[in-house]
């Protein structure tokens, strides 16, 4: 198949969970022999973009960065301002009031030109708020929505449903989100499949030495709040008993982290494994948000054990959590105690690390099978009724 992914989030540098997820989906499709193109929809919140890395992965013919500007941009910002004023006057609790509010309509003719030149067999659009992009493709082209996020708290239900209904197929990152989409789509018969993050499995790390623990994250509200809770409520308890313990923070979240005793800000690291170089122990101290946590699954692929809140393992079966010490949400004392055990006990670290690595292999087998089970009907026949691929909440959707 010739597939095209359309996304407002770039693949490189892979500094956020949403970038990593899409990158691994594309690489998995390439490994199965599919020709994959990637269309990038720029926005003010797109962050750093490494254009050369995109070309290295997809070739000059396979990477399509679009452009913004001109009168269409003025119309876009006028609409955004109008919607924001409406929400303020109406005291709306939603981030957006229209599913198309953040979609720049000037993208549609650019997408249509690319499709006319390439003739894609299927199109995958990322985020329900960008499903207007489907308008650029013929009605006969199978339309797959990789939602990346449930907008249950960000959009009125009727608006989210309107976006979902534009797709021919939906993949979800976890059962809870899939159930929400199915409920939202009733009585329409839109198939919703569960395809979670595909882990980049590499050689397990050496766990013999450990100078502390690692936190990895991009700069958005849920990550910032979660890390702040650990630094304020957990880290002082740990360092009271282990003064040499350090927290190694990696990712764009370092921009928001204040200096604090025991906190080492590493910034954006080239590879996930570099975040664990001195501290092969992950703290998945999630206090907000839903969906599967990419940082936790990627730790599995490196054979790194973890301590997590209950919220942080949402969407992962208990049978896959032998490498994770799960503690109750908000229990700082229990979290600190679990971190100290793994920090001090090398044999326990190694045992949990082996369990995490084994879980990564079985996890990937299930996700890859689910992905191609979902794509196969699209390649064999053209769906006559809309369906959708739902991928669950991984990180905040960019808002232009």
178 and 103 in one domain?
A: yes
User: Rounded to 10 degrees, what is the CA torsion of 22, 23, 24, 30?
Assistant: 110
pLDDT for the residue 389: 44
User: What's the CATH code of the domain at 240?
Assistant: 3.40.50.2000
Residue among 32, 13, 26 nearest 59 (CA): 26
CA 72 to CA 75: how far, in whole Å?
Answer: 5
128 and 258 in one domain?
A: no
Of the pLDDT bands very low, low, confident and very high (cuts 50, 70, 90), residue 282 is very high
pLDDT for the residue 30: 95
Greater pLDDT, 15 or 192: 192
- Give the domain extent around 216: 212-360
User: What's the CATH code of the domain at 19?
Assistant: 3.40.50
Beta-sheet strands, E only, within the chain? 2-7, 35-40, 63-65, 122-126, 143-146, 169-172, 192-194, 212-216, 246-250, 263-267, 282-284, 306-309, 324-327, 388-390
Tell whether 81 is covered by a domain. Answer: yes
Contacts of 280 (CB under 8 A, 6+ apart): 205, 206, 207, 210, 214, 302, 304, 305, 349, 353
296 and 173 in one domain?
A: no
Question: Is the pLDDT reported for residue 250 higher than 90?
Answer: yes
pLDDT for the residue 297: 94
Q: In 10 A of CB 322, how many CB atoms?
A: 14
CA 204 to CA 186: how far, in whole Å?
Answer: 44
Tell whether 197 is covered by a domain. Answer: no
pLDDT for the residue 377: 52
Residue among 371, 398, 379, 295 nearest 40 (CA): 398
pLDDT digits (tens, 9 = 90+) for 42-72: 988 888 899 999 999 999 999 999 999 888 8
Residue among 65, 68, 95 nearest 80 (CA): 95
pLDDT digits (tens, 9 = 90+) for 229-240: 999 999 999 999
Of the pLDDT bands very low, low, confident and very high (cuts 50, 70, 90), residue 387 is very low
- List beta partners, residue 124: 5, 144
Tell whether 378 is covered by a domain. Answer: no
233 and 164 in one domain?
A: no
Question: Is the pLDDT reported for residue 385 higher than 90?
Answer: no
pLDDT for the residue 69: 87
124 and 9 in one domain?
A: yes
Name the domain count of the chain. Answer: 2
254 and 114 in one domain?
A: no
331 and 220 in one domain?
A: yes
pTM over 0.85: no
Question: What are the C-alpha distances in Å from 315 to residues 195, 268, 290, 318, 364?
Answer: 11, 27, 9, 9, 14
pLDDT for the residue 290: 61
**Mean pLDDT over residues 351-359, rounded?**
97
Tell whether 207 is covered by a domain. Answer: no
User: What mean pLDDT value characterizes the chain?
Assistant: 90
Tell whether 375 is covered by a domain. Answer: no
Tell whether 165 is covered by a domain. Answer: yes
Of the pLDDT bands very low, low, confident and very high (cuts 50, 70, 90), residue 166 is very high
221 and 169 in one domain?
A: no
298 and 337 in one domain?
A: yes
pLDDT digits (tens, 9 = 90+) for 285-339: 999 876 678 899 999 999 999 999 999 998 899 999 999 999 999 999 999 999 9
Of the pLDDT bands very low, low, confident and very high (cuts 50, 70, 90), residue 114 is very high
pLDDT for the residue 381: 42
7 and 83 in one domain?
A: yes
pLDDT for the residue 378: 57
Tell whether 262 is covered by a domain. Answer: yes
pLDDT digits (tens, 9 = 90+) for 167-199: 998 988 888 899 999 999 988 778 898 888 899
225 and 123 in one domain?
A: no
Question: Is the pLDDT reported for residue 386 higher than 50?
Answer: no
Tell whether 236 is covered by a domain. Answer: yes
Q: Is 104 exposed, middle or buried (0-12, 13-18, 19+ CB in 10 A)?
A: buried
Of the pLDDT bands very low, low, confident and very high (cuts 50, 70, 90), residue 274 is very high
101 and 39 in one domain?
A: yes
């Amino acid at each position: 198949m010739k597939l095209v992914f359309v996304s407002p989030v770039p693949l490189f540098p892979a500094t956020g969970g949403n970038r990593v997820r899409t990158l691994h989906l594309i690489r998995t499709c390439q490994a199965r022999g599919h020709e994959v193109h990637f269309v990038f929809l720029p926005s003010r919140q797109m962050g750093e973009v490494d254009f050369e890395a995109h070309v290295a992965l997809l070739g000059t013919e396979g990477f399509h960065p679009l452009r913004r500007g001109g009168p269409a941009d003025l119309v876009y910002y006028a609409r955004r301002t109008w919607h924001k004023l409406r929400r303020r006057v109406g005291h709306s609790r939603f981030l957006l009031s229209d599913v198309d509010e953040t979609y720049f309509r000037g993208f549609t003719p650019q997408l249509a030109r690319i499709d006319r030149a390439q003739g894609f067999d299927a199109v995958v659009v990322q985020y329900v708020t960008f499903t207007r992009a489907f308008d650029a493709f013929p009605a006969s082209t199978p339309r797959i929505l990789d939602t990346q996020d449930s907008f249950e708290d960000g959009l009125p239900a009727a608006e989210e449903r309107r976006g979902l209904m534009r797709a021919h197929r939906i993949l979800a990152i976890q059962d809870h989100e899939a159930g929400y989409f199915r409920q939202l789509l009733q009585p329409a018969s839109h198939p919703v499949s569960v395809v979670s993050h595909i882990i980049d499995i590499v050689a397990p790390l050496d766990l013999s030495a450990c100078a502390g623990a690692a936190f990895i994250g991009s700069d958005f509200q849920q990550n910032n709040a979660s890390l702040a809770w650990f630094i304020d409520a957990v880290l002082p308890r740990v360092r009271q008993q282990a003064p040499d313990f350090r927290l190694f923070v990696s990712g764009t979240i370092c921009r928001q982290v204040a200096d604090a005793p025991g906190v080492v800000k590493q910034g954006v690291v080239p590879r996930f494994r570099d975040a664990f170089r001195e501290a092969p122990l992950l703290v998945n101290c999630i206090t907000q948000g839903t969906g599967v946590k990419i940082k936790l699954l990627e730790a599995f692929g490196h054979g790194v054990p973890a301590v997590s809140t209950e919220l942080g393992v949402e969407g992962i079966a208990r049978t896959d959590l032998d490498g994770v010490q799960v503690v109750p949400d908000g229990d700082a004392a229990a979290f600190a105690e679990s971190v100290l055990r793994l920090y001090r006990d090398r044999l326990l670290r190694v045992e949990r690390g082996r369990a995490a690595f084994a879980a990564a292999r079985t996890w990937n087998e299930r996700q890859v099978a689910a992905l191609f089970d979902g794509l196969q009907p699209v390649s064999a026949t053209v769906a006559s009724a809309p369906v959708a691929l739902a991928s669950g909440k991984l990180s905040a959707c960019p808002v232009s």
